[in-house]
Chains A and B, each alone.
Chain A
């Protein structure tokens, strides 16, 4: 329709495509690295239900609403739900995966500092969704 040449637009589109390719490649590389679970990671079974979190360590100890882990060790969460969808989230460590009934989702993290962090539910799950919260305690190794 328009009679003029359109080269500025093509250069612009090429730049946008190059940028998106770069973003995609970086994201792919980063995700590949963070999805690689270390072999020595300890398993913690996380159960979401309306409206609290239960944690079960490898040695069988259970905690409700609180999770104690040791600094410098890797942990693998196996996340399940007994009723509706929830989403297990420790925002400070970018730990996020949905708890879906009938499925086991996994995510891992390795706390690098002693401290306290919030645990919350990030998927709408009903009446008390807003207060489906817990606390993560990262402590010095006992032994």
Chain B
């Protein structure tokens, strides 16, 4: 299998191309750029919180802007474009089609991302990634806030266009000899997450417009001073962004479904339960949005309904974990770098899910809500599960894209450091939350437990930072000077575990 780019080509040929591997490469480079940009902001946050008082960030406004742009960048400009990169490379091959269904639309969806990223970074808004009104309407300084709103608007359209393309490619362009029950689980993952995007995103798109007109003062949808209701925004926002959690995590689980059986040298334990769990998650994901809002003063009945809806998603997630463990059971496992990332990601996925049960149980939520527990909890998903699955997959596809092998030792060092760092940062943050430290604070009182745990978390973050420098060096060095890879079997697993199909770029 090859995925192009093995022969050098002028950069404009790639930039103006509509071929799925070229668009995939553009997505890949963009998403990794934003991974490093957003990650460095995280290091700034952690350095500031190392000790009470002002450390390296001059004032709280700058701090608030930094964590807002950190979250927005890594969710919308790293995780989602990275999934699109993998989908662009692999989905057409998996359904045995020559390209995405609509190649020009595909390129347009990508080219909406850089301007949106520029808007978000030049604006540097301060109202958190949740942009909660009435703060975002009456208090947040413009034009940063407005640039953020336009940036998100563009990203939403880009996501919907990309999702439509994946759905049509999978359902309409798959090879006539293949039934839908024969496409790989990763293609099922992209089908499920794309369908969620199409259903979920328009709600937030509408809310963003209402937020903008509220800021302009011509409407008062969410402004209590004009008779509006901020809780309405919370519902619209979470109706999009709870399902969005599954949009982010499902492709990463799909990537693990590619890696785990291959490096265990065994077929997947149960294809059907994998499909079932993806479909279940994408339906049940819509029944739990208001579990983010228990503390807004919801009635007992509402809280009960959304608790049940949240707990209902647990069995489907647990089925994936079971499927992975059962696949590895008795397998001839080869712990190459991609496999280490995937297995580490599953362990952290399990931990994140277990913590999530605590959040959703009504009385316990009042202990954890809006504390560092929640920060630790969702970072175990976005970093521990999604970034781990994604980075593992990046190592996995590296030889197919570049024709060269990354440095295996440094790949493993990268994993070990990141794994230790992730546990130090985010497990500690769970405990810190139980001690009551609120999220999104620039400074904190000198409570000894808070100081100790913040320092552990900062050390962990610096370890992750070091591992990411190693990662960057390894990728840059190996793509130019790495050992040439055997693109039929780069990981020495034996041939029958790979796809026989190749990407064929006519302009290559």
Stretch at the interface among A6-14, A37-45, A56-64, A68-76: A6-14
> In the complex, are the beta carbons of A35 and B314 less than 8 A apart?
no
Task: Contact check, B318 vs A27: say whether CB atoms are below 8 A apart.
Answer: no
**Chain A interface secondary structure, helix, strand, loop or mixed?**
mixed
A66 at the B interface (CB under 8 A): no
Q: Does B307 contact A (CB under 8 A)?
A: yes
Residue B443 is within 8 A (CB to CB) of chain A in the complex: yes
Residues A101 and B134 in contact, CB atoms below 8 Å apart:
yes
What chain B residues lie within 8 Å of A16 (beta carbons)?
314-315, 318
Whole-angstrom distance between the Cβ of A2 and the nearest chain B Cβ: 5
A interface residue count range (under 10 / 10 to 19 / 20 to 34 / 35 or more): 35 or more
Residues of B344-369 at the interface with A, using a CB-CB cut-off of 8 Å, are 357, 361-364, 366-367, 369
Q: B308: nearest residue on chain A (CB-CB)?
A: A24
- CB B138 to nearest CB in A, in angstroms, measures 7
Tell me, in angstroms, the Cα distance from A21 to B60 when the chains sit together.
43
B231 touches A9 (CB 8 A): no
A residues in contact with B366, CB < 8 Å: 94, 96
Selecting from B152-160, B195-203, B268-276, B412-420, the interface stretch reads B268-276
By the criterion CB–CB under 8 Å, are B363 and A85 in contact? no
Question: Which of chain A's residues 61-94 have a Cβ closer than 8 Å to chain B?
Answer: 83-85, 87, 89, 91-92, 94
Q: How far is the CA of A85 from the CA of B127 in the complex (A)?
A: 12
Interface size classification for chain B: 35 or more
Cα of A28 to Cα of B312 in the assembled complex, Å: 15
> B134 to A2, Cβ gap below 8 A?
no
- Interface status of B438 (Cβ within 8 A of chain A): yes
- CB-CB under 8 A from B138, the residues of chain A are 83-84
- Stretch in B82-90, B94-102, B297-305 touching the partner: B297-305
Name the residue of chain B whose CB is nearest to the CB of A29.
B363
Interface residues of A (CB under 8 A from B): 1-2, 6, 8-9, 12-13, 16-17, 20-21, 23-24, 26-28, 30-32, 34-35, 50, 83-85, 87, 89, 91-92, 94, 96-98, 100-103, 105-106, 118, 120-131, 133
Supplied contacts A2-B270, A103-B231, 6 more A-B pairs, CB within 8 Å: A2-B269, A20-B311, A124-B130, A129-B440, A129-B442, A131-B443
List 6 tightest A-B contacts by C-beta distance, closest first. A91-B436, A102-B224, A105-B297, A130-B441, A27-B361, A1-B271
